Chain A
Amino acid sequence: MSSHTNYLNAKKGFASWALTIDHKRIGLMYLVSIMSFFLLGGLFALLLRTELLTPAHTIVDAKRYNQLFTLHGAIMVFLVIIPGIPASLGNFVLPLMLGAKDVAFPRINLASYYIYVLGAIVALSSLFVGAIDTGWTFYTPYSTTTDGGVVLMVTAAFILGFSSIFTGLNFIVTTHKLRAPGMTWFRMPLFIWGIYSTAVIQIMATPVLAITLLLLIVERTLKIGIFDPVLGGDPVLFQHFFWFYSHPAVYIMILPGMAVVSELIAVFSQKRIFGYKQIAYSSIAIAGISFLVWGHHMFVSGQSELVGMIFSALTFLVAIPSGVKMFNWLATMNQGSISFKTPMLWALGFFFLFAIGGITGVFLGTLSVDVHLHDTYFVVAHFHYVMVGGTFMAFMGGIFYWWPKMTGKMYSEFWGATSTLMVVVGFNVTFFVQFLMGAQGMPRRYYSYLEQFQIYHQISTIGSYILGLGFVTAMITLLVSLKKGQNAPANPWKAASLEWTHTDVIPIEHNFHEQPVVTEGPYEYR
């Protein structure tokens, strides 16, 4: 580690971390927490894939299996992917990229981390009072009548919502008010545009989820009859409320992934990003339209055909900005100087998997086709392609990209590349076959299944082991670099944005020695 004073060694001791208001340290603490929960959620995934090796009982009983997939979903959605990129990478990078000393409200930033930890503790404590078995969607009236720690898990999601709101609020204000002199809106790196759009969705959608979950808690404890038909309520209203948040939440998950990839493709092609404004506006467009498509989760729930038609049309509309980004990335690579360092490999993996995820999304937006595919493994495969193949690949790419800035260390390129390859291969083996079995009619959330599906399940399970091993390899590669890695230069990738050009190898506590002044865009490679 460099002998200079930097944010890592400026202050020492447990309290200097636990009470830090430095956005970089908070970002790192988020990163460690999120990755730990990722490993836990991944472990649950491997257990349930193992259970599915045979059509009936393999290692656990039906109740345990239902708890496993619920926990896997809830942990991955609420504790890993939603906070994922914004809270960890966003916290670390956003002020650096803007040329700011910190986020606008550093103490609220720290508070949001502890609210996250509190939410995580409440979520995990539901394991001890009888794990929840409703699926992460908490559909009523099942969730109002089943036993187990539903109230605890829902409370956890409620608490985590506040963490998300605080983070989003901080990012919006920081972007508006703390840009360095000369940093105009169109000189901001696209990462900021993506995170900014995400933050807008976070603060607009999360309160609706919060109130929905509050209603669910009150429904369970006081039986007020909002969602339970026995008491005069309407179970479908819950789905409307839930997806009004949770569909935009899908874009809370994917927009930051796209934001990271925009950076990676440009830097590792050493070429100005193609269609900067189009990508920036498409992020905003996605954020806007994402609020109008929630009904496509409910084509078969009994809503009217007219409503179904409107939601289907709007759903197709949201596909366009995503497609636009893909084409712009391609055009950026064209005639570039493409280097295959580990972060770029993750980005290319993203490109490949997200293309499949996006195209299969068209199937699901098509009304009649969705009727058949709804709630089958086709859907499971589709959203894993988007959430893991998209968001999580980008997340890993981002970690590998900013790792030298966070820690001052370079990792082994060989092991970085190997882990990427394992993840891409393992991922496709796991999930591609799920498209096939879903189309053939294999419903999701099935503990036992018709024998003829066994071969697909077995392939999928084997793939999941490769996938898991790939992620573990990637993490070990990073951890080993802390001990054995070479010292990084200040700008190993020849990037042109402020966090690389104007900081020390490891940034100092207040980021910059002197206030940077911006005179050109973030992608001027020389």
Chain B
Amino acid sequence: MDNLKELLAMKLPVFSQWSWMPEPASAYAGEFDSLFFFLMWTGLGLFLLVIVPMFWFMAKYRRKNENQKALTQKDHNHLAETLWTFLPMIYLAVCFVWGFLGFLNVYSIPANAKELRVIGQKWNWTIQYPEEGISVSGQGAVVGVPIDTNIRLTMSSQDVIHSFFLPNFRIKQDVLPGRYSTLWFRADKEGEFPILCTEYCGDYHSNMLAKLKVMSKDNYKAWVENLKNANNSLAPKDLGAKLYQSKACVTCHTTDGAPRIGPTFKGLYGSTTELANGSKMKVDDTFIKEHILTPTKTPIKGYPPVMPAFQGQLSEVEINGLIEFIKSFK
């Protein structure tokens, strides 16, 4: 899968190969890192606090001959026991309060945020821009956002649970079927940052990648315009080829005759196919359109009814493109 190779070559910006945290892309991420490194250094301190004495005792009190006795049988010390019960509480209380404040920040969404809608489905993300009237989707989809703008994501899933993860922003949120969840961020650095799915969702869970592209406000405007026009200027077949990749049709349908989760496109157009209910149908334009928009209504025999419905996500132009594309594999 060339598409996959391209996806995996996507770069997740990190400070350096051996640094702990990926490069922060928002003010919140910077605050987060100070807490993380606080935990890291105090954790290291705590670790040394128990491990150094352990090695010290191992060396100092090792049994040198068979009959050596312990130096003492003293088995309690009230002060020490009280201290090591209550001192950790103070440390843990600090961690708790600090962590809770950060958590509130993640979930208190500013009122003036620009809204994007996120739809998770096996195995790609669709992001709709209600204001601009555009949408992007598919594995490796490029999600453009303007810099220094509060972005609010309203997310839902079409099938199983997914989770929307932006490592460079230190945020993630589960995306559930049957209810909406929200997340917000404000990018303060231009660049490309990966979007990952972190809730296991099936065979191609790890291909469920997309790219967040933070742009200056002007570039963002241009990007939106460009996207609006792009699909109309391509030849139908080329548009279909593009959608075949970006809508992740490639995950389940081959073009070379090899079987995968769905039927191959080779020789599909014009053939006769049997539905799960036993009736036979000729694969023509109407058949293809129906099976793209509402595939599970009339599933095809021998294939699991797992294809997502594209109803409302594809324009007529795009559907025609896909039909031409499928037609081209005789």
- Residues from chain B with a CB closer than 8 A to the CB of A371 are 102-103, 106, 170-172
Given that A139-B200, A441-B167 are known contacts, is A447 also in contact with B76, CB under 8 Å in the complex? no
A355 interface hit (Cβ, 8 Å): yes
Among B21, B89, B196, B200, which residue has its beta carbon within 8 angstroms of that of A439?
Answer: B21
B226 interface hit (Cβ, 8 Å): no
Given that A269-B70, A336-B70, A362-B95 are known contacts, is A56 also in contact with B173, CB under 8 Å in the complex? no
Query: How far apart are the CA atoms of A326 and B53 in the complex, in Å?
Result: 12
B212 interface hit (Cβ, 8 Å): no
Query: How far apart are the CA atoms of A265 and B75 in the complex, in Å?
Result: 13
Given that A56-B8, A337-B68, A366-B39 are known contacts, is A316 also in contact with B106, CB under 8 Å in the complex? no
From A215-223, A271-279, A396-404, the one touching the partner chain is: A271-279
Query: How far apart are the CA atoms of A351 and B51 in the complex, in Å?
Result: 8
Query: How far apart are the CA atoms of A312 and B94 in the complex, in Å?
Result: 12
- Residues from chain B with a CB closer than 8 A to the CB of A523 are 75
Among B98, B101, B181, B198, which residue has its beta carbon within 8 angstroms of that of A374?
Answer: B198
Say whether A338 contacts B61, CB under 8 Å. yes
Between B71, B203, B204, the greatest number of chain A beta carbons within 10 A of the residue's beta carbon is seen for B203
Classify the secondary structure of A's interface with B: helix
- Residues from chain B with a CB closer than 8 A to the CB of A363 are 36, 39, 43
Query: How far apart are the CA atoms of A331 and B80 in the complex, in Å?
Result: 10
A445 interface hit (Cβ, 8 Å): yes
B297 interface hit (Cβ, 8 Å): no
A428 interface hit (Cβ, 8 Å): no
Among A271, A302, A323, A367, which residue has its beta carbon within 8 angstroms of that of B174?
Answer: A302
- Residues from chain B with a CB closer than 8 A to the CB of A365 are 95-96, 99
Say whether A320 contacts B85, CB under 8 Å. yes
- Residues from chain A with a CB closer than 8 A to the CB of B70 are 269-271, 335-337, 525
Q: In chain B between 13 and 40, which residues have their CB closer than 8 angstroms to a CB of chain A?
A: 14, 17-22, 32, 35-36, 39
- Residues from chain A with a CB closer than 8 A to the CB of B63 are 270, 337-339
Say whether A334 contacts B159, CB under 8 Å. no
Query: How far apart are the CA atoms of A138 and B11 in the complex, in Å?
Result: 32
Say whether A443 contacts B50, CB under 8 Å. no
Interface size of A as a range? 35 or more
The chain A residue with its CB closest to the CB of B82 is A278
- Residues from chain B with a CB closer than 8 A to the CB of A369 are 32, 35-36, 39, 99, 102
Bitwise interface map of A from 86 to 130 toward B, beta carbon under 8 Å scored 1, else 0: 000000000000000000000000000000000000000000000
- Residues from chain B with a CB closer than 8 A to the CB of A335 are 61, 70-72, 74
Among A147, A324, A372, which residue has its beta carbon within 8 angstroms of that of B167?
Answer: A372
Say whether B57 contacts A338, CB under 8 Å. yes
B73 interface hit (Cβ, 8 Å): yes
Nearest 5 interchain pairs by C-beta: A441-B167, A368-B102, A229-B178, A366-B99, A367-B103
